[in-house]
Amino acid sequence: MSDKMLSIALRCASASALATAGWWLLADLSAPDSCLDTGGAFDYARWLCSSDGRKHLAYIDVPITALPSFPVFCACLLAFAIIMLTPMKTSQNR
């Protein structure tokens, strides 16, 4: 596999990882709303949805940095930025 093909594959893989991590972060951020919209009770301390709508759980302000998907997204974003800012090697025809 040539250097250029390897570089393109690495860029595609990093973009794919970033998209997946972003999707996971968005799912985590929308979990409380989705749970409450379906009539459940959301446990902010454990970040879990309970299907028992009669249960009343107190709201706890959880910073985005406490979500498990946040550091994964940041790592993928950093890796993507480094890979995209690295110039691709071009093969010279001889």
- Expressed as residue numbers, the domain containing 67 is 3-85
Cα–Cα dist 42/94, whole Å: 64
**How far, in Å, are 46, 59, 79 from residue 74 at the CA level?**
22, 26, 9
Residue 32: inside a domain, yes or no? yes
Residue 90: inside a domain, yes or no? no
The span from the first CA to the last CA of the chain, in angstroms, equals: 18
**Mean pLDDT for all residues in the chain:** 89
Mean pLDDT, rounded, for 37-59: 86
Phi, psi for residue 57 in degrees, rounded to 5:
-110, 140
pLDDT grade, residue 92 (50/70/90)? low
pTM: 0.81
Residue 79: inside a domain, yes or no? yes
Which tens digit of pLDDT belongs to each residue from 56-91? 888 889 899 999 999 999 999 999 999 999 887 665
Question: Are residues 47 and 67 in contact, defined by beta-carbon separation less than 8 angstroms?
Answer: yes
Domain count, the chain: 1
Residue 57: inside a domain, yes or no? yes
Residue 93: inside a domain, yes or no? no
pLDDT grade, residue 3 (50/70/90)? confident
Three-state SS at 48 = strand
